[in-house]
Structures are given as structure tokens and as C-alpha cells.
Amino acid sequence: MIHRSTFGTSARRDRIERIELSLSNGFSASVLSWGATLQSISAPDARGHFDSVVLGYTSLDDYRCAHGRLGATMGRYANRIANGRFEIDGVAYQVECNEGKHAIHGGPEGFDRRPWQVARIVDEPNGPQVRFELRSPAGDQGFPGAMVMAVTYALVPPGDVVITYEACTDAPTVFNTTNHAYFNLAGEGSGSVLDHEVTLFADRFLPVDDELIPLGEMRDVTGTVFDFREPKPLGRDIRSDDAQVRLGRGFDHCYVLSSSERSTTPRLAARVLEPTSGRTLEVLTTEPGLQLHSGNVLNGRYGGASGRAYRQSDGFCLEAQHFPNAPNVSHFPSTVLRPETVYRSMTVYRFGVDDTPRV
């Protein structure tokens, strides 16, 4: 089932839509044409009680003014580019910087801060879906090439949110995208996520410098606080004296799922369990990296859908993407997109329950 409504009006008088997708079992998700944003996901706990499990706002003004990029689609380049500079085929480019001297998430007016066109809405037999499209002109935020990007949200029974990305360009450029949802499996606005038990199916992570730019190393997680290969509460080591944790003010690091290009089919990258509700989340993706972000930047300035302020570690991100600063690190998977290639990527958020009794 699909329900469309008006969410607000942009500063340029664009009508911003809210599209609610739902399945017959009650599982649902709401998305906005502002930033192609995932606003809410309603999923059951082990007792059958439904709550939204992603952080989101109820007004367009909050999405425009807040800086957490809650649930939005990132572009042209998710995560960081050092000094906002890179080269393609020997030609140097400078893009707009918005994190000190560095660029992050596409610049000050990235894809998360724009109205997208609702290109298609279909209620397929196996679940509803909506496709958003955005045109980005050559020189947008300093990036070369005119680009068209599309993101499709689809619900698949019993509890999958499938996000498919496509992009093409008329000149060589760099491109990296992800969804920036903050999850709280106990329910949006319920408080800290530090008790969530996290498993990451990755043997290496990317250590960073004091400005959160990757050093270029793919470091083994063995013997470090970054080892989540077995289930571990997110908060167990978040206050450790580890130098990398201090730099990130918690976890804000990319895990290496593959040192090569994206895969053709989604593979399991992470699993999370919230022990009280029994809700689980699995992340499957075709991308080579997964950014773990422990909600370090949430500062309590804005109230969410529950009417409660979002404070540090009230949500966590698992952002499937290519590596930060890949345009400047030759041994990272390439993020160069050329006119003869269509970018395609898929990430699946799979919700379920674990009703195993707990002592």
C-alpha cells in the first residue's frame, strides 16, 4: 500500500512529498522527496509491538536546519575528500569544502539538502516502491560532469527495506553515495543505543588522522577495540583510551568489506540486536565499505518525531559506501565514474526479531 501527502514547501517553493510504503503485515517505511530521505521505518519487536526504529523529524524546517543528515541520500561524494581536491586523468579539481578545509557529503549544498523528483511509484505484488531522481549540473559544488542520479526505496516482505542507487555522467567525475539513517532498535527517541549488540563482518578498518581523513592503511581489527566480529555492545569500548576512538569521539570509521570494487549481489556486512525489544537489523550491501558511526554528532538541539531531543549516541549509522578520500588514495577501490559506465549499487536493511530468552 502507498500513501502520498505534502510534507512542506522548500525555500524555492518546491512541494516536498512524504510517501508511506506499507506491507500487509504492518511493516512500513516513510520517505521524503527532500534529500530522498528515509524518515521512518516501523518494525515489530518480539512481542509484536511496532515502533519507528530510525531517527527522523516531523517538519521540513528541522531537516533543513539540523546538521545530522538524518536518513538522507548523500552525494555527490559521501564522506570526506581531503582538502576538497582530487585529480582525474591528470586534471586537478577543487570542490567546495564544508568541514574546515575538507569536503564532506558533497559540500555545503549536497544532495541531502535538495528536493528530488518523484519519478515513479509502483505497488508491485511483492511490495511497494518509490523512485526519486535528481539532476546535478556540471560544476555542481565544483564536481566535474553533469550527472543524473536515482534512488529507489522498495519494501520486500517480511521486513526488508531495499535501497537501489543508479547514476550516470557525461564526463569523468568521482561519485560515492550512501544512506545516512540513524537507527535505534529500541524505538526512535528511546535514548542511548550503546547497549545494542553489534556484529561487523569485516577483518579490517581504516584508521584516520586528527581530522578524520583515512591514513591510507587497512588495519587488522584483531586485538583492537574495533573488533566486532563477535557480537559486542556498541558502548563496551566507546570510552576506551584508544587513540582512534578519541579522534572520532567514539566510532566514526569505515570497515573494509572488500578491498576491490563493489560486488554484484548484496552480501551480509553487519548484524545488530537490541536485547530488550529483541529487534534485529541486518545490513547487506554491494559496497566495499561500511562506516560505523556511533551518533557522536547528535547534540540535543533538535527534537525528533517522539518529541524528545536526540543526544549523543541516541542513534547509530551503518553507512554502506566506498572508502572516504578514495579519490586521493590509489590503492582504495576507485570512485571514478565515466560516461560509458552506469553506477549501480544496492543496500538492504533487513529487520527481524530474536525472541531468545535472556537472563
Burial of 264 (0-12, 13-18, 19+ CB in 10 A): exposed
Task: Say if residues 48 and 92 touch (Cβ distance below 8 Å).
Answer: no
Residue 184 phi/psi, 5° resolution? -145, 105
User: Grid coordinates 527495506 are at which residue?
Assistant: 161
Which is catalytic among the residues 102, 105, 180, 293? 180
Which strand ranges, in their side-by-side order, compose the sheet holding 2-9? Answer: 2-9, 15-22, 28-32, 37-44, 50-52
Name the one residue in this structure whose C-alpha cell is 591528470. 90
Q: Choosing from 20, 102, 319, 322, which is the catalytic residue?
A: 319
DSSP letter, residue 339? T
Residue 76, preceding bond cis, omega within 30 degrees?
Answer: yes
319 is catalytic: yes
- Dist. CA 310–CA 301, nearest whole Å: 7
Q: C-alpha angle 111/155/45, rounded to 5°?
A: 105
CB contact at 8 A, 34 and 60: yes
- Return the ∠ at Cα 227 (arms to 223 and 233), rounded to 5°: 125
- Give the residue ranges of DSSP H helices in the chain: 60-65, 243-248
**Cell numbers found for residue 112:** 541531502
Is 282 a known active-site residue?
A: no
Distance CA 110, CA 114 (A): 7
Active site residues: 180, 319
